[in-house]
Chains A and B, each alone.
Chain A
């Protein structure tokens, strides 16, 4: 596609539920990144993939968060047992390879009620 696509654009879920957030990177981009942006803050790094493997997942806040990229293209961020504190905008970005410009999607706004 023309840009990084994230779905859904908005997600409201109840506390304790499981959610999946999807990211379609720009075609041909091998590197994919997830960030989280809380209200009034800058984006915070969660995880990045080089191909299918998670090269650095040091930003995942706890073991309720998990991300996959099984075929080296689409990625899914999975959050188990959601908490109100998980409410934020989740941003995905991709780049052709590491060390090149990252292009961001418009994000998924997650609200946990």
Chain B
């Protein structure tokens, strides 16, 4: 079945540092890819998405590019803020496989210190 692997955390960065969280996927066909974020005490929120190869999703200064050749969807941000502290989940959705379930990675906890 489909799977998503993302770098293990926790990740601790100083404010204004560059962030990369790696994510790779395995799937039959061409899934849609997502990054979700879970802020402390809140529910999962969609951060960004990409539905086909070479698409770039972006939101709130975060970006991720769908790379079919490396089956990757790495999350990046040029300058993190304390308010970015959260758990980030990479996910795939392979509707072409006949189902509408999201497959999530294990999550990466990010802590940004002033």
Answer yes or no: are A and B bound together in one complex: yes
Binding site for B on A (CB under 8 A): 3-4, 31, 33, 35, 40-45, 48, 55-56, 58-59, 91, 93, 98-99, 101-107
Quick one: given A42-B89, A91-B43, A91-B44, are A102 and B102 in contact (CB under 8 Å)?
yes
Binding site for A on B (CB under 8 A): 4, 36, 42-46, 49, 89, 91, 95, 99-107
Assess the A101–B46 pair: CB atoms within 8 A.
Answer: yes
Assess the A42–B100 pair: CB atoms within 8 A.
Answer: no
Q: How far apart sit A101 and B93, CA to CA, in the bound complex (Å)?
A: 11
- Secondary structure class of chain B's binding surface, majority of residues: strand
- A105: B residues at CB distance < 8 A: 43
- Secondary structure class of chain A's binding surface, majority of residues: loop
Q: List 23 A-B contacts (CB under 8 A).
A: A3-B43, A33-B100, A33-B101, A42-B89, A42-B91, A42-B104, A42-B105, A43-B89, A44-B104, A45-B101, A45-B103, A48-B100, A56-B100, A91-B44, A99-B95, A101-B49, A102-B46, A104-B36, A104-B43, A104-B45, A105-B43, A106-B43, A107-B43
Q: How far apart sit A42 and B25, CA to CA, in the bound complex (Å)?
A: 14
Assess the B42–A106 pair: CB atoms within 8 A.
Answer: yes
Assess the A99–B43 pair: CB atoms within 8 A.
Answer: no
Assess the B102–A45 pair: CB atoms within 8 A.
Answer: yes
Q: How far apart sit A45 and B43, CA to CA, in the bound complex (Å)?
A: 16
B49 to chain A, nearest CB (A): 8
Q: How far apart sit A101 and B49, CA to CA, in the bound complex (Å)?
A: 10
B57 to chain A, nearest CB (A): 12
- 8 further contact pairs, Cβ within 8 A, besides A33-B101, A56-B101: A31-B100, A41-B107, A42-B89, A42-B91, A45-B101, A56-B100, A102-B46, A106-B43
